[in-house]
Chain A
C-alpha cells in the first residue's frame, strides 16, 4: 500500500544508488511535486552527493561539505541523521507520509548518530562535541541536548549504512521546543554544491518554506560500501514541504485573504432566490491552477551541472498528476510520461530557467493516496498540579492484518511515569470498549527509568494492534517540582515533551517490488506539560519575611533582657535625665514661649 505512493521515487533512488558505484564523487538532485487534497501541494526535494571514504578521511572535500565533514571526523561520527521539522502532517487528508516517514523528524530538532567510541562515556563525550559543533553550524540550540535529553534507543533505529566498526554507539536527542526558521535554512543551503544558485535548490526561499503547513529538512550521512568498488560516504539532504496553494499564491505585500468578487461567484441556480443579491455559492469542482513562479516566488534557474550523467537535466523534476491533466512547461524542456499513467518527469534545459504552469482544470481522475497503516495520537490527560496521565491511541484501519510496531518515547526527568499503571483498552469496530491484559498488546518492554537532573525516561514498547481495532494505552505520571533556577523564562507556557516515534515492522512481506527494506516511521505531535510554577520573586520575599520574624523575636527577647523596668510614674524622672528627655523638655519650653508671645499680642 505504502509502497505504491513512492514507488517511482524509490525505484529511481534504488537505481541511482546501484549505478553510483563507479565514480568516487558524484551528485544527484531531484524534485517531486504532488498536488494533495484541500489545495495543498507536496514538494519533495532531494540532494545526494558522495565522496570516497579515502578522500573523506584525508579531508579532501569536493561535493561533500567541508564544514560538516570536519565535524563528523572530529566527533568520530560514522552515521548522522539530523531533522528540522515544523507543522503537522495531516495523515487523514494527505495519506501516508513521504519517504515512509523515514526523512522526517520530531517537531523541532531531532538528531541521532552512530558514534565510534570504545565505551559509553567516550561515546557521550563525542556526542556532546557533535551537538555543540552542529549547533554552531546550523544556528540551532542543539547544544542544549545534554544528558537529560539523550537516550540510547534499543530497537527503534537501525543503521542505514554499511559499517565495519563493532564499537558503534547509537545516541538520540530531541529538542521539541526548537523553532525551525530561516537561519537554519541558510546553512542547510550552504552545504549544497550548487548553493541554491542553480538547479532545483534555487526554488528555496525562507519566506515560502517556513510558511508551509508542514515542512521537514533532513540531513543523512552514512557510509555506503557497494559490493564492487570502494566505500563511499554519502550525504543526502531532503526537504519535504506541504504548501497551501491559495496561501502561497497571495502576493507577499498583500497577504490578507479576500472574498471572491461577486461577479466571479458561481451560484447554485437550483435554489430559489427572493432577490438578485443573494447567492448560494457552489463548491469548485475544478482543481486549482498554479505555477512554480506563483508558488515559490521564483523559477528553477537551470540545472546544477554536476551530475555525471551525459544529460544533466534528465528527470530532475517529476510531477504526480494524471496524464490527462494539462501542463505547460518552459520552451526547451521536454516531458517524459511514466507508464503508470499518474506521473511524468521533465528534462530541463541546462542553462535556461524552467517554469511549470498547471492551468485550472476539471478533475476527472485523482492520484490515489495511500491510507497510512496506523494512526497514532498522544495526549496528556488529567488535571491538577501534581499528577497527570498519558493517553496514546493507536488505530489500525486495516480489516485483515495486524500491525506490529515499536513505540519509543523519551520523557523529561520531571515527568515521572508509573509504569505499573500501564493500562490497555481495546475498541473493535463494534464500538465496545474492553480492558485487556497489557501482555496481550505489549509484547516487549524496554524501560530505563529517569534519574533526577541526569537522564530522562526511555520507554520502548513492542506493540501489536489487531486488525480493525483501536487500542488505547494509558499510564499515570507525577510532575516533579523544579528548583528555582531550573525554570526557563517562559515557565508558564509549559514544558515540551518530545513526540513519540513509532516504527512499523513487518512491511517487508507486502512490498515485493523493491529490494531493500525500509521501515515506516510515524511520529506523534509534541506535547506541552504544565508544571507548577512558583512566584519568581519568592527568594526575596522569603528573605524579607524570615528576617522580619527573626528581627521581631530577637528584638523583643533582647529588650526584655537588657531593659530596666520601673513603675510608670517613675519613668518620667528617668526620661528627663536622658538625652531624649532633655530634648523633649527643650521643645516644650520653646513651644510654651511661642504660645506665651502669642497671648501677649492678644
Chain B
C-alpha cells in the first residue's frame, strides 16, 4: 500500500558531494511532502472498538469453545488419600492373634495366673509389635474339658491350647493335632504356676511353644510389611519367590506327557478325587480352583534342550540340575493358559520313553521339581517288562499316587503356604493372614501408582468408572484395616480381595491410555494453518492499539 516515492526521489540526487547535498535535498523534500490530516477521534475510537470486538469474540466465545471441545474428562480422584495409603500413613496393619487357653482341670485363679505369666513371657519374647499373640481363657473351659465345636471353628481364634494334666512328666510336652488348630499341652500338676513366683516352667514352656509355632508367620509378615527390607531366612525368601501372586481363582492343569504313544490314558479322575480334592476343599475360603487334565502323546524335547545322559553308576538316564529349566518344551507342548481370569498352574507328569527309563535328576536322583510361579514336574518311571520293554497303556490310580502326593505338596508351595508347622488348618490360617497383608499392601501401592500416574500425565482422561473403582478400593481397604485390627482375618481377606480387584481394574482402565499416543506434531499440523494467518494480524492490531493507548496516557 505504501508507495516508495522516497527511493525514487533520492536516487538521482547522489552526485559529487553526497553529505551536503543529501541533507539539503532531504529537508527540502520533507517540506514538499503533504502530511495527511490528523486522524479523527471517531476513527480511532472505531478502530479501538473493532479490535476490542474481535478480541472479545475470541476470548469470550472462541476460547471457551476450544477449551470445551478439546478438554478431556478427568474425574476427581482423592489423590492425597491414595498417596497416604501407598505411604502407609492411613493404616498400620496389625495382627492381634487370639489364642484360647482351655484348662478344664485347672482351678480358675490358677488358670488366670498361668495366663498372666504366659502373656508376660510372650510379650517379653516378641520383638515385632505388629504381630502379637493375645491369650484368652476359654469361657466354657471350666466345664468338662470338652471344647465346643463353635468355639473351635470361630474364625478369629488362631489357636486353641488345651492343657491336659498328666502324671509323671518331668517337663511339659506339647502336641499339635494335624487336622485342627489345637495344641495339646501335657503337664504334670506340680509344674503349674504358684502365686509366689513370677514364672513357672509351664508358662515358659507354653510361651516358647507359641513363639516357635508363629515364628515363620511372624517373619513372613514382617518381611511383607517392611517391603522386603528385612533379612529373611533363606527358606522363607525362597518360598516367597516361588509362590504365585494371589488370585481369586486358580486353574490347575494336569498334563500327562510322553514321547511315545503309551501310556495314553490315566486314572486321573479318581486320582484327583482321592489325593487332591480334600486339599482343594480346605483351600476354599482362600481361593477357588478349576481342574482340567489332558494327555499329550509324542511330546518330544525341544531341539535345543540338552538330552538326558545315561549314567552307569546310577543305572539311570539323568538330567542335569541346571538343564531342568529347558525341560519343558514350551514351543510345542500345548500348555496354553486356561481361559478366564486367574493364573494357570501346570502340573506335568512325564513318562519317559522305555529307551530312556528310568529318568532322574543327576545330582540328587530326585524325580520332581518345581518351576517357580508356573507349576511342577514329576517324572514317572513305570516298571517295564524285561523283554520287549514298553510303557503300560494305562496308568492306574495306585501308580499315580506318588505323583499326586508330590503335586499336592508343590501346589501348597506354589500357593505360598508356610512350611511349618505340620497342621494344615494352622498353615491355611497363616496363609489367610499373609495373603490379607499382601493384598492390602499391593492394593495400596496400586492406588499410589495410579495417583502418581494421573498426576504426571495431565493429558490422559480419567473416566468416572475409575473414580468409582478408586472409591470402592479405598473403602474396602479401610474395612480391611479395621478387620485386621480386630482380629477378623477371613473378613479382612474378603475385603482385601475386593480392594485388589478394583484397584487393578482402575489401574488398567483401557480408555485412559488412548490419548497418550496422540502426537503433538499432529496438533501443530491442525492448528497452525489457521492460527498463523489469523493470529498475526490480530496480535499486531492489539499491540498497536495498546501502544497508542499507552502513548495517549503518557501524553496526558
Q: Is B294 touching A66 in the complex (CB atoms < 8 A)?
A: yes
Closest to A539 in B: B526
Chain A 252-297 residues near chain B, CB threshold 8 A: none
Residues in A neighbouring B294, C-beta threshold 8 A: 61-62, 65-66
Nearest chain A CB to B393 CB, angstrom units: 9
B420-434 contacts to A, CB under 8 A, are none
B47: CB under 8 A from chain A?
yes
Contacts of B54 in A (CB 8 A): 558
B131-139, B152-160, B262-270, B362-370 - interface stretch: B262-270
CB-CB under 8 A from B253, the residues of chain A are 66
Candidates B10, B14, B43, B332; contact of A564 at CB < 8 Å = B43
Whether a CB of chain B sits under 8 angstroms from the CB of A364 is no
Q: Cβ of A420: which chain B residues have Cβ within 8 Å of it?
A: none
Known: A67-B336, A573-B36. A592 touches B14 (CB 8 A): yes
**Quick one: closest A residue to B533, CB to CB?**
A551
User: Is A325 in contact with chain B by the CB < 8 A criterion?
Assistant: no
Q: Which residue of A lies closest to B290 (CB)?
A: A59
Q: How far is the CA of A288 from the CA of B80 in the complex (A)?
A: 83
Contact B261 A551 (CB under 8 A): no
A571 near B3 (CB under 8 angstroms)? Answer: yes
B297-A572 in contact (CB<8A): no
Residues facing A in B484-502 (CB within 8 A) are none
Nearest Cβ on chain B to A426's Cβ, whole angstroms: 52
In Å, the complex CA distance between A596 and B35 comes to 30
Say whether A62 contacts B264, CB under 8 Å: yes
Chain A residues near B22 (CB-CB < 8 A): 589, 592
Q: Is the CB of A562 within 8 A of B14?
A: no
Contact stretch, chosen from A150-158, A165-173, A191-199, A240-248: A191-199
B541 to chain A, nearest CB (A): 5
Report the separation of the CA atoms of residues A573 and B30 in the bound assembly, to the nearest whole angstrom. 8
**Which residue of A is nearest B526, CB measured?**
A543
Contact B537 A548 (CB under 8 A): no
Given contacts A59-B292, A62-B295, contact A554 B534 (CB under 8 A): yes
CB <8 Å contact, B261 and A547: no
Q: Does B340 contact A (CB under 8 A)?
A: yes
B295 touches A550 (CB 8 A): no
Residues of A within 8 A of B297 (CB): 193-195, 306
Does A508 lie at the interface of the complex (its beta carbon under 8 Å from any beta carbon of B)?
A: no
B339 and A71: CB pair below 8 A?
yes
Contacts known (A306-B261, A572-B33, A596-B18); A60 close to B525, Cβ less than 8 A: no
Hey, which chain B residues are within 8 Å of A525, CB to CB? none
Nearest-neighbor residue (CB-CB) of B256 within chain A: A62
8 Å CB contact of B36 from A25, A194, A561, A567: A567
Residue of B nearest to A54 (CB): B269
**B50 touching A561, Cβ below 8 Å:** yes
Contacts of A62 in B (CB 8 A): 264-265, 294-295
Instruction: Name the interface residues of A557-602: CB closer than 8 Å to any CB of B.
Output: 558-559, 561-564, 566-576, 584-585, 588-589, 592-593, 595-596, 599
A305 to B391, CA, bound (A): 13
**Inside 8 A of B262's CB, which chain A residues have their CB?**
305
The distance from the CB of A37 to the nearest CB of chain B, in whole angstroms, is 37
With contacts A555-B537, A564-B39, A588-B6 taken as known, whether A60 is within 8 angstroms of B529 at the C-beta atoms is no
Question: Residue A74 contacts which of B268, B339, B541 (CB distance < 8 angstroms)?
Answer: B339
Q: Contact at A562–B541, with CB atoms within 8 Å?
A: yes
Cα distance, A166 to B47, chains bound together (Å) = 81
Number of A-B contacts (CB under 8 A): 151
**Cβ–Cβ contact A593 & B18, under 8 A:** yes
Q: Which of A552, A558, A595 has the most CB of B within 10 A?
A: A558
Contact string against A for B residues 508-535, beta-carbon threshold 8 Å, 1 for contact and 0 otherwise? 0000000000000000011001101110
A-facing mask of B437-459, CB < 8 A → 1, else 0? Answer: 00000000000000000000000
Q: Is B211 an interface residue (CB 8 A)?
A: no
Determine chain B's interface SS by DSSP, over half rule: mixed
**A198 partner, pick from B6, B51, B261, beta carbons under 8 A:** B261
Q: Is the CB of B537 within 8 A of A558?
A: yes
Residues of A within 8 A of B292 (CB): 59-61, 66, 69-70
Residue contact A540 to B298, C-beta cutoff 8 Å = no
Q: Which residues of B contact A551 (CB under 8 A)?
A: 529-530, 532-534
Q: Does B1 contact A (CB under 8 A)?
A: yes
Q: Which residues of A contact B3 (CB under 8 A)?
A: 568-569, 571-572
With the chains together, A73 CA to B156 CA distance in Å?
Answer: 39
Complex Cα–Cα for A544 and B525 (A): 9
Known: A59-B290, A70-B339, A198-B298. A592 touches B534 (CB 8 A): no
Given that A67-B336, A194-B298 are contacting pairs, would A585 and B6 also be in contact in the complex, using a CB cutoff of 8 Å? yes
Indicate if the CB atoms of A592 and B18 lie closer than 8 Å.
yes
Within 8 A of A (CB), among B242-299: 253, 255, 261-262, 264-265, 268-269, 290-295, 297-299
Residue in chain A with minimal CB distance to B47: A562
- In-complex Cβ contact of A544 among B6, B10, B50, B529 (8 A): B529
Of the candidates B2, B16, B47, B537, which one forms a contact with A575 in the assembled complex, judged by CB atoms under 8 Å apart?
B2
Q: Is B5 interfacial (CB-CB < 8 Å)?
A: yes
Q: Does A58 contact B (CB under 8 A)?
A: yes
Interface assignment of B68: CB less than 8 Å from any CB of chain A: no
**Residues of chain B contacted by A306 (CB below 8 angstroms):** 261, 264, 297
- Taking a contact as CB atoms under 8 Å apart, the answer to whether A59 and B6 are in contact is no
Q: How far is the CB of A438 from chain B (nearest CB, A)?
A: 48
Question: Is the beta-carbon distance between B5 and A569 smaller than 8 angstroms?
Answer: yes
Which residues of B sit under 8 angstroms from A562, Cβ to Cβ?
47, 50-51, 541
Q: Are A74 and B340 in contact (CB under 8 A)?
A: yes
Q: How far is the CA of A276 from the CA of B19 in the complex (A)?
A: 107
Of the candidates A564, A567, A576, A596, the one whose C-beta lies within 8 Å of that of B30 is: A576
Q: Tell yes or no: B62 within 8 A of A by CB.
A: no
Q: In the assembled complex, how far is the CB of residue B510 from the closest CB belonging to chain A, in whole angstroms? A: 15
User: Is there contact, CB below 8 Å, between A548 and B533?
Assistant: yes
Q: A59-B291, A547-B529 are in contact. Are A570 and B2 (CB under 8 A)?
A: no
- The verdict on B78 contacting chain A, using a C-beta distance below 8 Å, is no
Interface bits B286-316 vs A (CB < 8 Å: 1, else 0): 0000111111011110000000000000000
Q: Which residue of A lies closest to B531 (CB)?
A: A547
In the docked arrangement, what's the CA distance between A220 and B313, Å? 52
B291 adjacent to A547 (CB under 8 Å): no
Query: Taking the complex as formed, is A133 at the interface, i.e. its CB lies under 8 A from any CB of chain B?
Result: yes
Residue of A nearest to B10 (CB): A588
Q: Does A190 contact B (CB under 8 A)?
A: yes
CB distance from B396 to the nearest CB of A (A): 15
Alpha-carbon distance A304/B541, docked complex (angstroms): 89
Other-chain contact of A571, B2, B10, B51, B340 (Cβ < 8 Å): B2
Chain B residues positioned under 8 Å from A65 (CB to CB): 294, 334
- List chain A residues, Cβ under 8 A from B339: 70-71, 74, 133
Which residues does chain B contribute within 8 Å of A592, judged by CB atoms? 10, 14, 18, 22
With A194-B297, A555-B533 already in contact, the answer to whether A67 and B51 are too (CB < 8 A) is no
Which residues from chain B contact A330 at a C-beta distance below 8 Å?
none
CA distance A572 to B538 in the complex (A): 25
Q: How far is the CA of A53 from the CA of B117 in the complex (A)?
A: 64
- A69 proximity list for chain B (CB < 8 A): 292
Asked if A334 is at the interface of the complex by the 8 Å CB criterion, the answer is: no
Give a binary string over B6-25; 1 marks a CB under 8 Å from any A CB, 0 the rest: 11001000101011001000
B34 at the interface (CB under 8 A from A): yes
A-B contact pairs, 10 of them (CB 8 A): A58-B269, A65-B294, A69-B292, A70-B338, A195-B298, A551-B530, A570-B34, A571-B2, A572-B5, A574-B2
Seen from chain A, the residues whose Cβ lies within 8 Å of a Cβ on chain B are: 25, 55, 58-63, 65-67, 69-71, 74, 133, 137, 190, 193-195, 197-198, 304-306, 540, 543-544, 546-548, 550-552, 554-555, 558-559, 561-564, 566-576, 584-585, 588-589, 592-593, 595-596, 599
Which 3 residue pairs of A and B lie closest in terms of their CB atoms, listed nearest first? A551-B533, A59-B292, A596-B18
Which of B's residues lie within 8 Å of A, judged by CB? 1-3, 5-7, 10, 14, 16, 18-19, 22, 30, 33-36, 39, 43, 47, 50-51, 54, 253, 255, 261-262, 264-265, 268-269, 290-295, 297-300, 332, 334, 336, 338-340, 525-526, 529-530, 532-534, 537-538, 541
